[in-house]
Structure 1
Amino acid sequence: MKEQFSTAFGNLIDKLQGWFNTTIEYIPNFILAILVMITSYFAAKYISKFVGKLVSKKIEQASIKNAIARVSAVVVVALGLFIALGVMNLGKALTSLLAGAGVVGLAIGLALQGTLANTFAGLILSFRKKIQIGDWVETTGFAGEVMDINLKDFTLKESDNNIVVIPNKTILENPLKNYSLTTRMRVFIECGVGYESDLEMVEELTKNVIANTFEQVKYANDVEFYYTEFGGSSINYLCRFWIDAESMLEKMRAKTKAIIEIKKAYDKEGINIPFPIRTLQFDNKLSVKSSDLHQMASKN
């Protein structure tokens, strides 16, 4: 019994001594690993601030800037963790950690497929120079001013002050018309004049009214004027001209102003803008027999 006890005690002492020797042997690596982690932590803070300042020169959205800065910090810390594990000769642990991270990342990616798609789409939209906050755009049946682009959605403010929130993925996958990329817009006006009107006079008068109303239209010949059809009660025409504008509101104001001035000029010159008229003509007299009336009454 004493021999077994002494043998077990000796094995315990040998084990503890081996652990102690191993600990003493790995203390420098452990200290170096701690230094690596501390260095990576402070480096992550510095790099996060640097990346935030660098990205702010190209991206106005605070949410996107913060997200990119945080991702850069996480990458630096993760890199420091891998280096620290390598310094401590924990290669197997490093391999297991990478494998586990891959499996977890795949599971999260499948579970949050739609969310991640909107996130990456938001990052792509933020770096696009042709889409900026304040632009007037039209997409997926909505038109308005771009108010915000974040990691989730794309926010528009319509002309009637309604806020429209559209997923980033939808914006990226559908056509988008940006009116703010050009400083000029074409205004279309469709109208009709009576058949008794002098068509050449109407054309000349309309062109002169547009040229005198808008500073951007220097000459009457810059206005395009085309008669389009013989309508039911009028001869219709299409008038179009260019103005300096960057939003649909400016275009609508210009069209309104043009219609008002054209109406004033037509009233002054006695030019008629007819509205659709339906004439009912009863030339044929219908003869109704009394027998027919009795039959109709009996049916009712």
Structure 2
Amino acid sequence: MAQEESATTQEASSTIISPETIEKIQGIIVDNALNVLYAIVIFVIGKWIVSMVRNGIRKAMEKRNVDPALISFGTSIIYYVLMICVILAAAQQVGFQTTSLVAILGAAGLAVGLALQGSLSNFAAGVLIIMFRPFRIGDVIDAGGQIGKVMEIGVLVTVMHSPDNKKIIMPNSSIMAGCITNITANDTRRVDMTVGVSYSDDLDKVQNVILDVLNADDRILNDPAPQVEVSELADSSVNFVVRPWAKTSDYWGVFFDFQKTIKQRLDKEGVSIPFPQQDVYMHNVDSSAS
């Protein structure tokens, strides 16, 4: 019995942690806590500095009248690159080996890149848009089957507003994959219209009437001169092609106003505008003869 009590006492004494061990554990905890605290401070201050740098670069580029698309795209890239550096610095303070972390991030980046090939193609297309500038913010374009005003050129997508004020978010790869028509790139545009008159009307008179209507509109440019010519001898009408030039901002105003004005003027001049019609002839059949 005495031997069992002595064995139990020895086991209990062996389980008691020595003061030196406790001090070592406390030191490790304190050191790690300080490192974590330093890492948090590095991350918070680093993020604040990166934001300041991004805003400073944006203001400097705006003062130099840099393309807004380039400002948005460039500052985004700079922000993400600097934030990666801040994260690496904070991780190194905690105890992570930077080289190992970079290797892990590289492997993870490769895996993510393979999984997000579409996003990478959108990113590459965004870089091409910024480099070649087929359009700018504020331009009206026809691309990827959509027509709208460009509001933002992002890293992965381009944001447009349609003529009826719908927000269109289109991947950059869809834009660069096809034809891009920049509708407002030039200051002037040609307004293509067609006027059809009857075969019985005086064609010279009609041509002069159309020219008078065009010359009365101050929005129509004299150089290049408007073109009014007979373009087609259709089934029921003689068609004139009407091609005046106007400022791009006046395009739709000229187009819509001309349709109304030319109709009123031709009616006043006694010129008829034919419309599709069909003549039906009915014959009486003698039932007795049949």
TM-score (norm 1): 0.68
Answer with 189-198 or 110-119: which moved more.
Answer: 110-119
1:270 CA displacement: 0.5
Q: How does 1:258-297 map to 2 (within 5 A)?
A: 258-282=258-282, 285-288=284-287
Structure 2: distance between partners of 1:156 and 1:104: 33
Q: 1:42, CA displacement in angstroms?
A: 6.9
1:72 counterpart = 2:81 = yes
Quick one: which amino acid aligns to residue 231 of structure 1?
Answer: A
Aligned partner (choices 150, 159, 166) of residue 162 of structure 1: 166
Distance 1:155 1:40 in 2: 32
Alignment partner of 1:183 is 2:187: yes
Distance 1:129 1:115 in 2: 20
Count of residue correspondences: 253
**Deviations 1:130-181, CA, capped at 9 Å, x for gaps:** 4222211111222121122223422221222222221122112222111221
Q: Is the 8 A contact 1:232 1:276 kept in 2?
A: no
Instruction: Tell me how far apart the structure 2 counterparts of residues 218 and 172 of structure 1 sit (CA, whole Å).
Output: 37
Quote the offset at 1:115 in angstroms. 2.4
C-alpha separation between the residues in 1 aligned to 2:48 and 2:165? 41
SS at match of 1:213: coil
Structure 1 segment 1-300 matched on structure 2, within 5 A: 46=49, 49-55=52-58, 57=61, 58=66, 60=68, 64=73, 67-74=76-83, 76-77=85-86, 96-126=100-130, 129-218=133-222, 222-246=225-249, 250-282=250-282, 285-288=284-287
Partners of 1:151 and 1:161 in 2: CA distance? 23
Q: Deviations over 1:80-100 (max 9, x none)?
A: 68999xxxxx9xx66544433
Alpha carbons of structure 1 residues 186 and 59: separation in structure 2 relative to 1, 3 Å: closer
- Consecutive unaligned residues of structure 2, counting only runs of 5 or more, are 1-37
Contact 1:51 1:68 in 2 (8 A): no
Q: How far off is 1:238 after superposition? A: 0.9
Judged with a 3 Å threshold, the aligned counterparts in structure 2 of structure 1 residues 287 and 140 are, in CA distance, closer, same or farther, namely: farther
Q: Distance in 2 between matches of 1:281 and 1:148?
A: 62
Deviation at 1:252, TM superposition (A): 2.2
Question: How high is the sequence identity, in percent, across the aligned residues?
Answer: 26
1:15-62 superposed Cα distances (whole Å, 9 cap, x missing partner): xxxxxxxxxxxxxxxxxxxx9xx9999788656634543355235368
The answer as to whether partners of 2:42 and 2:90 remain within 8 angstroms in 1 is: no
Root-mean-square deviation (Å):
3.9
TM-score, length-scaled by structure 2: 0.70
Change (3 A) 1:173 1:276: same
Which residue type is aligned with residue 286 of structure 1?
V
Q: Flag the 1:39–1:82 CA change in 2: closer, same or farther, 3 A.
A: closer
Distance of aligned partners of 1:39 and 1:277 in 2 relative to their CA distance in 1, 3 Å threshold: closer
Contact 2:221/2:246 (8 A) holds in 1: yes
| Distance of aligned partners of 1:238 and 1:269 in 2 relative to their CA distance in 1, 3 Å threshold | same
State the distance in 2 between where 1:125 and 1:109 align: 21
Q: Assess, with a 3 A threshold, how the Cα gap between structure 1 residues 153 and 128 changes in structure 2: closer, same or farther.
A: same
Q: 1:127 to 1:53 in 2, by over 3 A?
A: farther
